[in-house]
Amino acid sequence: MSGKLIKCLASSVLLITLLCIGALVYIRTDESRFHSETELQQITFLGTYEVDNNGKLLPFNGSIDGLSHDRHHVTVTGTFSEDIPAGRQLMLRIDNLKVTIYAADKKIYSFGEKGTFPHYARSAGNGWDSLISPGISSDDYVRIELENLYTNHSDTAFSVFFQFMYYGYEGELITSLIRSKAMDLLLAVFIFCLGIIAIVYCILLYPLKKVVRQTFCFAGLSLSAGLWFFIDFNVQCYLIPLPVFNNSLDIVCMIITSVFLVSYFILLLHTRWKILLAAEAALEFILLPAATAAQLMGIYDYYDFLNVIIVFTILEGISIPAMILYENIRFSDKINHSLIDSLALVAGMFLQIFGEHRENKTSLFWFKLGFFIFLILQFWHMAKSVKGIIADSTKAALLEEQKQELIEKVQKDPLTGLYNKSATQKQVASALRTGNPDSLAAFLMIDIDYFKKINDTLGHAAGDSVILIFAGNLRKQFRDGDIVGRIGGDEFAVFIWVPDEVWICEKARKINAALAENITLESGACSITASIGIALAKCEDAEFESLYHQADEALYRAKAAGRNQYSL
């Protein structure tokens, strides 16, 4: 059953891969036709700009240069490169800016004004916004006032605003963005699906109590990384009703992904130096609620912690491979595949940092690619490990089942399924050794009345049927923990703990009544009754042999007194 499930999960991964590749191929091959049919037009802005009202007008060529990491107020004046017909949407890419647009000295648009977003946020968000054009010609004088609300990316925030200006219809923009980000989005879906499959692995492994923590960390890493990969401010703003949460989602996913990544390696590594990773994971774990509380109280913003997260990322990129390398050198007889796997992750991590420093826009892609390769390799190792664990557990369960079957054959009577004579003796002796010395033990010997006559008149097959029916009725009279066995042809024994003599006598009367039965078989009909002999003794004074002999003598008396009764 587990082997079939493993194959099913592997087939699911293959199917998801093929679907993602098919979707990507379709999007890419259909992209040229889409661009030929769309009315979406990119426009540029021509004119001059002024920074912080310093009186210096500089020519504007699509970017604003020389800005420091500080808050700036930029005023750009000029004209659009094309006419924007009335009723068309002018779509703007706003990266945490406060924006005001004037056309012919008339205010036609504003974004990020106080009171238009929650008080605990510093900006109205990171994403797209649009305005309905009142009819703007390429000759109309336009003034755009911008103010950056974060200081850690002031240069890119202004440039992005002017690089991504479109007019047309919003639906066309959404379609275009999804097509342009198809690779990232499908990558995110694929990684997220790996996390779901890892959760299934966790469910499979939980009863086995093996490597569930490591598999759980991988599942959390894949799910959070999948969400983080999906985050693209160009696309997600159309999926989240309030743009102000875009920044929060980005930072939260980054922190959670980092925590799961470090936790995964903590479980993977054996060196004592991994305590440093544990301390780092604890700090990041504390950072998330602390940053959230600071955000909600309006003290700090999530983005204020971005540099802290980058420091954590650099530390992880250095410490994790170093510890893996240390383990591989010290324990050279053990090959740790995670060393090779982590090289892709570390390479992508440093390419991102280097790329951001050099303003390389493709740096995040290489980081995602490195992360993706790392996750695929880890998933492959995990799947093989899980398959081996399940195979070993299945084998162990089979051996245990065979062992139990062997024990059953040795201990149980083949006809009735009750304990045989030797097993009954061992069970009773064990109960007397481990029981409370002051407890009262009762040993009952029960014999089917006139069983030889039933065998002689109806045949041995009928006799076996009678024994089977009798044993079933007898077993029903006692609890699961009571010892019930067949010690001879038609002789049965029962060992139970009783409160007093009156209770066992009343129990014996009920047993006599329950076992008395008229039975109709294929070879004829017969009546069944039973005689019962009872022996009582305190646990500390009792032994199996003495109880057996006392109960046997009591049984003899019950038969001598007329049968179908008990004797104590």
Q: What are the distances in angstroms from CA 50 to CA 57, 145, 347?
A: 5, 10, 41
Nearest to 339 by CA among 318, 352, 322, 351: 322
**Helices 451-458 and 460-476 meet at what angle, rounded to 10?**
140
Angle value at C-alpha 389, between 386 and 395, nearest 5 degrees:
140
Whole-angstrom Cα distance, residue 274 to residue 339? 15
Q: Tokens 């990684």 identify what position? A: 191
Exposure string (b/e) for 203-222, b if CB count within 10 Å is 16 or more? ebbeebebbbebbbbbbbbb
Q: Tokens 């409370």 identify what position? A: 436
Dihedral (CA of 249, 253, 256, 258) sign: negative
Cβ–Cβ under 8 Å, residues 515 and 470: yes
Q: Which amino acid is at 44?
A: T
Q: What are the distances in angstroms from CA 308 to CA 101, 252, 254, 288?
A: 35, 13, 12, 12
Q: Which tokens hold the place of 363?
A: 């740096």
Angle value at C-alpha 397, between 396 and 400, nearest 5 degrees:
85
Nearest to 187 by CA among 233, 232, 132: 232
Whole-angstrom Cα distance, residue 22 to residue 540? 78
Phi (first) and psi of residue 491, to 5 degrees: -110, 135
250, 438, 490, 552: which is the annotated catalytic residue? 490
Whether 490 is catalytic is yes
Dihedral-angle region of residue 371 (phi above 0 means left; psi in -120 to 50 means alpha; beta otherwise): alpha
Strand partners, 130: 91
Pairing state between β 45-51 and 73-80:
antiparallel
The residue count of the chain comes to 568
Whole-angstrom Cα distance, residue 129 to residue 174? 12
Strand partners, 89: 132, 168
- DSSP per residue over 492-512, as a string? EEEEEEES-HHHHHHHHHHHH
Q: Exposed, middle or buried: residue 14 (CB in 10 Å: 0-12, 13-18, 19+)?
A: exposed
Residues that are catalytic: 490
